[in-house]
Structure 1
Amino acid sequence: MSFLVIDANTHFGFLPHRDTDVSVDRLLASMKELGVASALTYSLKGVSYDASEGNDETYAVTRANPKLRPVATVDPRRHIGVVEEIEKRKEQGFVALRLFPEVQGWSINSALTKPIILTLARLHMPLIVSGAGSGTPTNVLRAVENAEIPVILTGVGYFNLAEALEVCKEHPSVYLEAQIIDPPDSLRVAVDAVGAERIVFGSNHPSCSMRASLNLIAESGLSNREKSLIFSGNVRRIFSRVKFPEDTLLSLDMPFQGIPVIDIHGHWGKWPFPMRGTGVDFTLDLMKSRGISKCILSSSYAIVYDFVDGNEQMAQAIEGHSELLGYVTVNPNYYEASCKELEKYAKKPNFVGAKIHPGYCKVPINAPRTKLLVRKVQEYGLPLLIHTYGAGGPAQAAELARECPACPIIMGHGGADAWREAAEFARDVKNLYMEFCCSVLETGKVRRSIEIAGADKVMFGSDIDLLHPGFIAGVYEEAGLTQEEKEKVLYKNASAVFGIQP
């Protein structure tokens, strides 16, 4: 079935804090390439500098580009002319109002919001606002609970999905953007809880990967009817007075078809989020759906609680499944016990690396305890996957790699939003590598990382079964990899580092 797609969350302009291309041209090119028929959009100038100037820019851009529909924004901190600005933009044909309390430093559930909500209710104008973070969906609910206006919550992820679903149950006009509802079956859980009629497609493009969010819905296992509602049907109903183009249908190619894939970042175990699927069979089905021939897993139980018991449980679970390989999880707080685990699992042919999660251990990547333990990992000839997330993490990983030069070290998540830093260190440190699984997938990060560090330093990791492999694959698929780059990134680099065949 072909789908009409309307993206409810896009923008354009300039980002002072990073050099991602967020131009109108980039937005339109992605829409054309992927078959997105239309998009709601706003100017970033209106968020960071001046709402009125930003809205003028949005008006001009959408008048010049018939596939784009204008979304206004205001900053209530200004106080002067806020209501009048909303009224003006409504008269000009702006289809919704977008608020940014999380960027501008004010509370959505404050006195600042009340006149805005009353104005939107009077004008029958929908509200789009971030639902990211614990407590945020509830605060939005309190701000709008007496208003009969549609509200789209953006940025809801697995950490606060349960809260957002409860908000939807309490308020019949609250909708969830699906962009980062990214565990393999969490969209199914959300649809079962509140109905497909309450979820809309949005990508946060060009800042974030449009392809990844499209993959998430296309590969969700939902029915075609449910997908159709999410891709465009619900937006068309919410914005029933708006005419959207219908001359383009979703077009997703399969650029990795026929190429083996080794996924170097997977998990076995349970997670405290709205997701039903777990276990070996679930993981194998996900792998098959994405052409993943081998996946290296660590135990979530070993990471978040008892690493000895977690390693043992996972070893038993994956035994006899040649597609599944293991990381022995070790903990710098327990050096002697970790050494025993390394001794035990280094002898097992289906355990091919070690895993350290500094966040759960509460020990920095470059702490003396971590370095001591990684020297022992090096003695056993095992590669190390180490959770590396945020500014400063890649520098610590590079320090660790320089002190253990015979140990291949992979930066799990590639530093996340610090991927530029990670790529520069991967370029400069011979035994340092990166992969990119992460909920917030910045557009262009794979292509740019390869340009900085080289294709020899990049591998494929999905965070299966916490995240959907199709979602993560999207940021790789959009990178325009050559055949040689595809082979290196998808399996050859992992094959060489771990000594395994796809």
Structure 2
Amino acid sequence: MIIDVHAHWGPWFFTMDVAGANVATMDRFGIDLSIVSATEAVIYDAPAGNRALADWLATQDRHLGYVTVNPRRLADAERDLREYLPTGRFAGVKIHTDYTGSSAASPQTREALAMVAEAGLPALVHTWGTTVLDLAQTCADTPGLRVIAGHMGAEGYAHAIEAANACDRLYLEPCYSHAPAGRIARVAARVDRTRLLFGTDSTLIDPASAFGAVAAANLDAETAELVAWRNAARLFGLDITA
């Protein structure tokens, strides 16, 4: 069983598209369930992308969605959460801090994440470098909030270790366009293994990258199973058995 907690649906504005939301691609890598955000929602228009994703998810049985929230358009976010959560096809919220120009420490992102906490959902938040520390602080300051540090800080993975140990409601997801030697093994050795998740960043990055990086970490069997799906099933409240 494998749950991909960081995937996308829809075309990108450049040519890095590997069709990762395609079921055939999922089958090739043994991915049973992907949780996806709409590319259009992330990079351009959150309401339009969320609406298109909701229509597509209604035809799928191996995908769940993230409602993408633009912290600078909170009225839109509140409306979309109210409309799409009752469908049962959305499992969390996606916030891309760079595309929206809203850092994890900004007032608007903190307000958006407070809204997410009130809705009882996990949020996948883009982190890079030291920004994962800002996310940890916002998480610690927001009662009930559960956040996934997308890319676990990328090259700043050492900061992700500090962040995860500072807030027990912060989870780490490792997808990254590079594969520094020992990155995942180092994090897994120093962070509570129940807060480690698996993500690929498809359709932006070929899933082979994430699979190779995790395999190179040589995780023990129990930890590997937690990372592959058990932690995600618990975090998102999914009724899944292997």
Q: TM-score range by the shorter chain?
A: over 0.9
Residue 467 of structure 1 corresponds to 205
Paired position in structure 1 for 2:150: 412
Out of 70, 91, 98, the residue aligned to residue 352 of structure 1 is 91
For 2:41, the equivalent position in structure 1 comes to 302
Amino acid at match of 2:236: F
CA contact (8 A) 1:329 1:355 kept: yes
What does residue range 158-169 of structure 1 map to in structure 2 within 5 Å? none
- TM-score scaled to structure 2, two decimals? 0.95
Q: Which amino acid aligns with 1:459?
A: L
Confirm or deny: 8 A CA contact 1:346 1:380 kept in the other structure. Answer: no
Deviations along 1:453-481, one digit per CA (max 9) or x if unpaired, are 12112100000111111111111001111
Equivalent positions of 1:20-35 (< 5 A) are none
Closer, same or farther: CA 290–311 of 1 in aligned 2, 3 Å = same
Please give the alpha-carbon distance, in whole angstroms, between the structure 2 residues aligned to 1:355 and 1:277: 20
Corresponding position of 1:266: 7
Q: Tell whether the 8 Å contact from 1:405 to 1:431 is kept in structure 2 after alignment.
A: no
Aligned residue for 1:490, secondary structure, equals: helix
Q: Which residue of 2 aligns with 1:389?
A: 128
Structure 2 residue corresponding to 1:323, chosen from 62, 82, 87 = 62
Which of 362, 365, 370 is the aligned partner of 2:104?
Answer: 365
Tell me the amino acid that sits aligned with residue 82 of structure 2: E
Please list every run of 5 or more consecutive structure 2 residues that lacks an aligned counterpart in the other structure: none
Q: What residue ranges of structure 1 are gaps of 5+ in the alignment?
A: 1-259
CA distance in 2, matches of 1:351, 1:323: 12
TM-score (norm 1): 0.47
Q: Deviations over 1:228-260 (max 9, x none)?
A: xxxxxxxxxxxxxxxxxxxxxxxxxxxxxxxx1
What per-residue deviation string (whole Å, max 9, x for no partner) do you get for residues 476-498 of structure 1? 00111111101110101100100
1: CA distance, partners of 2:18 / 2:154: 25
Q: Tell me how far 1:404 sits from its aligned partner.
A: 1.9
Q: Does 1:493 align with 2:203?
A: no
95, 114, 125: which is aligned to 1:375?
Answer: 114
Q: Deviations over 1:250-308 (max 9, x none)?
A: xxxxxxxxxx100000001111333565485xx21111111110000001100111100
Which of 454, 457, 470 aligns to 2:192? It is 454
Distance change in 2, residues 1:291/1:376 (3 Å): same
The number of residue pairs the alignment matches comes to 240
Equivalent residues in 2 for 1:150-165, closer than 5 Å:
none
Residues 17, 203 of structure 2: 8 Å contact kept:
no
Q: Indicate if the aligned counterparts of 1:450 and 1:457 stay in contact, CA closer than 8 A.
A: no
Distance 1:340 1:436, change over 3 A: same
Contact 2:67 2:92 in 1 (8 A): yes
RMSD: 1.4
- Matched-pair identity in %: 33
Structure 1 residue matching 2:87: 3-state secondary structure = coil
Higher relative CO (Cα under 8 Å, sequence separation at least 6) belongs to: 2
CA distance in 1, matches of 2:150, 2:52: 23
Cα distance in 2 between the residues matched to 1:277 and 1:366: 32
Higher-Rg member (1/2): 1
Counterparts of 2:143 and 2:195, CA distance in 1: 15
Matched-pair contact (CA < 8 Å) for 1:414–1:422? yes
Amino acid at match of 1:449: V
Matches within 5 A, 1:15-414: 260-275=1-16, 278=19, 280=21, 283-390=22-129, 392-414=130-152
Aligned partners of 2:20 and 2:207 also within 8 Å: no
Q: Closer, same or farther in 2 for the Cα pair 1:275/1:335, shift >3 Å?
A: closer
